[in-house]
Every structure is written in C-alpha cells, then in structure tokens.
Amino acid sequence: MAGAIELLYVDDDVVVADKPSGLSVHRGWDDDDDVAMFRVRDAIGARVHPVHRLDRGTSGALLFARTAAAAATLGRAFADGHVDKRYLALVRGAPPATVVVDHPVPETEGGARVPAVTRLRLVARSTVERCSLVEARPETGRFHQIRRHLKHLSHPIVGDVNYGKGDLNRLFRTRYGLHRLALHAHLLAFDHPATGRRLVVRAPLPADFAAALAALGLPVAVDDEGAPKATP
C-alpha cells in the first residue's frame, strides 16, 4: 500500500498534494477506490478536480482544482506551457551537464506520437555506482514523457519496469532498498487561477529516495530559486 498523502498547499481554489509513489491519481480500469483524488477529497471534505497527472510510480507535487472554473483555467495553463514542472530522477550512467530532448512520444497511452520536449540538467554523478541524479523540466505533457526521453538517451530511470533495466532495478532494490520508480516531482509553479499570483510549491524528497541518494553520495539541497544541488 502506498504511504500517506500530505497536503502541501490548500486554499479556496486549489490544493497541491504530495503524492506517494505507488498511488494512482484517479480511478483506472481496475476501479481502485484508493486513489490520490479520493484521499485529497476526504482530507479537505470537498470534491476536487485533477488538472494534471503523475504516473503511479512517481511521487511528488500534484495539483487539484476545487472548482470547475479553476480547473478550466489551470487546464489552459498546462496546455499553454505556463506551468513549471520540475522532477528529480536517478538514472543509469553519466548524462551530459545539460541537454534538450526533442523527440516525439505518444500523447496518450496507445496514441499517435506527437512532439515532446524535455530539458535535462545534471545535478551530480555518484562515485559509488555508475548512476547520476538529474533534474527534468518537461515543456510538454505526454504519456511517460520523462521516462521515455531518458530511455531515448540511454540513461533509463532506476526502478522503471517499463523502460529501464531489470538488472539495475534489482541491484537498487537489494543494495539500497529502493523499491520504486526513482522519479519525484519536486517543484510545481503556476499562476493562481483566481488571483493570478505566481505560486511555487515544493515537495520534499521521500525518505526512501533520500536514503538511497545519501548512500550513493548524492544528498541534495535546493537553492533559493528551487534548483536542486548536491551537498558536500
């Protein structure tokens, strides 16, 4: 069972939750009653509208609207690329310091390939294993975009059972206790749908992810601009 869901920001129009790895955003084909949308609804005692999604295995900042009007405004902001989404990913190998991946991927599961762009920045390389921590900033919102783009670069995410490497995933489960996809949405920035004020919400690294990074010599701090950096 996925861990508890925490609320990072709440007002009359929006809620930002810290979704744990292993929890779906909303009901899928299996009609699961334990999903992030229902947990947030129960926590605030009111209906919420999901305006974007995170993969089941991804943890971190997840935005909900509390009104249909706010949902429509935020939906347009996501579609127009006005929302800043930043992720931390533990990947195989040593990617370049910065790279822009411009490679088409399916927009939805089973859909046609469409343009997709992700900006990647190396945070630090491990001296213990042949792996690295990167920050990903997707400029589009496609199905499994970050995961597919990192696979395209031959730097798959640790714990990715769809696009990763089984031997690598087993090593990190056994040696570092990391039984999850090593992808975390650590920052979400958007214009408030009612006031227009820019909101920046950060989601702390989950304990299991942070412990694995520390064991790899990759403890992470975040600077005043929200950019992650390796700590000594």
In a domain? residue 179: yes
Q: What is the pLDDT of residues 64-113, one digit of tens each?
A: 999 999 999 999 999 999 999 999 999 999 999 999 999 999 988 888 99
What range does the domain containing 183 cover?
6-230
Alpha carbons 3 and 23: distance in angstroms, whole number: 8
Question: Is 107:169 a contact under the CB 8 Å cutoff?
Answer: no
Q: Using the predicted structure, report yes or no on whether residue 215 has a pLDDT greater than 60.
A: yes
In a domain? residue 206: yes
Paired tokens of 72: 């429509």
In a domain? residue 191: yes
In a domain? residue 91: yes
Give the global pTM: 0.93
Q: What is the pLDDT of residue 58?
A: 98
CATH number for 16: 3.30.2350.10
In a domain? residue 1: no
| ∠ CA 217-156-149, rounded to 5° | 125
Q: What is the pLDDT of residue 17?
A: 98
Q: Read out DSSP for 129-191?
A: SSEEEEEEEESS--TTHHHHHHHHTT-PBTT-TTTS-HHHHHHHHHHH---S--EEEEEEEEE
What mean pLDDT is predicted for residues 157-173?
Answer: 96
Q: What is the pLDDT of residues 8-63, one digit of tens each?
A: 999 999 999 999 999 999 876 556 788 999 999 999 999 999 999 999 999 999 99
In a domain? residue 134: yes
Backbone angles phi, psi at 16, to 5 degrees: -115, 120
Question: Is 159:208 a contact under the CB 8 Å cutoff?
Answer: no
The rounded percent of the chain whose pLDDT value lies above 90 is 86
Helix (H) or strand (E) holding 202: strand 198-202
Q: What is the pLDDT of residue 108?
A: 84
Residue type, 136: A
| Number of domains composing the chain | 1
Alpha carbons 89 and 21: distance in angstroms, whole number: 13
Q: Which of 18, 55, 160, 208 is catalytic?
A: 55
In a domain? residue 73: yes
Asked if 18 is an active-site residue, the reply is no
